[in-house]
Amino acid sequence: MAIEVRIPTILRNYTGGAKIVEGSGDTLAALIDDLDSRHSGLKGRLITPEGGLHRFVNIYVNDEDVRFLGALEAKVKDGDSLTILPAVAGGALGFAAAAALVGGR
Partner 1 sequence: MARYESLLDACGGTPLVGLPRLSPAVPEGAPPVRLWAKLEDRNPTGSIKDRAALFMVREAEESGHLRPGDTILEPTSGNTGIALAMVAKLRGYRVVCVMPENVSAERTQLLRMYGAEIIFSPAAGGSNQAVATAKQIAAEHPDWKMLFQYGNPANARAHYETTGPELLHDLPTITHFVAGLGTTGTLMGTGRFLREKVDGIQIIAAEPRYGELVYGLRNIDEGYVPELYDASVLTRRFSVGTRDAVLRTRQLIEVEGIFAGFSTGAVLHAALAVAHEAVKAGNRADVAFVVPDAGWKYLSTGAYGGTLNEAEEALEGQLWA
Nearer to partner 1, 6 or 38 (CB): 6
**Only segment of 24-32, 33-41, 80-88 that touches partner 1 (CB under 8 A):** 80-88
Among 30, 43, 45, 80, binds partner 1 (CB under 8 A): 45
100: β partners: none
88 binds partner 1 per the rule CB under 8 A = yes
Among 4, 22, 33, 60, binds partner 1 (CB under 8 A): 60
Contact 14, 8 (CB under 8 A): no
CA dihedral sign, ordered 18, 19, 20, 25: positive
The Cα-based distances of 65 to 16, 44, 86 in angstroms read 26, 20, 12
The binding track of 7-36 with respect to partner 1, each residue x by CB under 8 A or -, is -xxxx-------------------------
Dihedral (Cα; 88, 17, 84, 102), 10-degree rounding: -20
Q: Which residues bind partner 1 (CB under 8 A)?
A: 8-11, 45, 54-58, 60, 63-65, 67-68, 83, 85-102, 104-105
